[in-house]
Structure 1
Amino acid sequence: MTGPEDRGHAEIEATYDMVARHYAAEYADDLAEKILDRALLSAFAEMVGRGALIGDLGCGPGFEARFLAELGLGVTGVDVSGGMIAEAQRLHAGVQGLEFVRGSLLALPFGDASLSGAVAIYSVIHLDAARRAQAYAEMARIVRPGGALLLAVHTSAAGFPAGSMRRLEEWWGHRIGLDGHFIAAEEVLARLDEVGFDLTARLDRGPSTPREFLSQRAYLLARRR
């Protein structure tokens, strides 16, 4: 018998499988316009050091993963969607220090304390509070003491305050079912503190490109205790 957690996981996977090709094409040059995102990713790369092994958790088509690999990191991108992993592998074939594997935020395919850091850019927003807590615990498990974490969430939007949820049922002509949670930065910080991360820096911003959803968002850069 399938429980709510399994159904939610299946919805995320099915949705991103359906839109993977369109998503990859739509946002192919998105990072080039995101000055602050590039600055934070670059700061993260300096924190972990050149040659460090890191995970891009919920990597999608792999644009941030490629950016970090080109800065000299060894990057493994992980995504629950096989369609997204296929797009990432197609788009970034041959990039040195970069690989992509299918996997879940709730059971990451890395050993304990095996990575110098991880990034999770909007990847926890589709998880309810209980599963987010599980994902944070997994991030703490895989990042070694002194390692870094860069995590981003949507915090609010018009009609959607922190703590609310938006149900998406159509995307680029596809009938889907996907929940998106708006999460207060303070909630994320409290949960990260519980699992062993200390805040290094925080950035709050609104949309920075014409294609971005009209939300407020928080970027949190932390160190593993």
Structure 2
Amino acid sequence: MKLNLHNANLKITAGAASQFPVDALPQIAFAGRSNVGKSSLVNSLLQRKSLARVSATPGKTITINFYDIDRKLYLVDLPGYGYAKRTASEQRKWSMLTDGYFTKNQNIDKLCLVVQLVDSRIGPTKDDIDMLWFLRDTETPHIIVATKCDKLNRTERNKFDEIIKSCEAAEDAAAVIMYSSKSGEGRDELWSAIIGAAETV
């Protein structure tokens, strides 16, 4: 699959399951805690500065953004989880919208990969681990992207990989891609995983 990344746009900003796209393009979803760098990663992948807005206030944006990539696939930016300062009503909205993506998405069979973002400097939080186990339990194909890896030395990188394996069954742990939106490290490897998954649909 060849993609013209110049032909990429924000197609839908969905605040409810009824607003999800109805066409049958493959979907690659990005999950992670608030402020993990999802928007920066999407911009880095597409080599755009501001296609995906980077919020100054983490946790306040509760929508699912569908980016149409050359009419061949969607990159789906799920709202960040784990933001402690959300109000109870904001938390309910986040839960309903995110759960709705996995349970009320009429094209859920087109979800071919979830890219689970984890801040490499912090390591997986309880919320990250809960999401990883949800993906495993539902047999949803997924990989882990360790963001902001340019801030780690080699020893810290190896330690991160060991922590991930300890969170999952070591023999069945998800692949880990070290990624830096600043340097571009991991970009080609992540695109390879995305395209490979999309071609299975």
| TM-score computed with the length of structure 1 as normaliser | 0.35
- Between the two structures, name the one with larger relative contact order (CA 8 Å, sep ≥ 6): 2
Larger strand share, 1 or 2: 1
| TM-score computed with the length of structure 2 as normaliser | 0.38
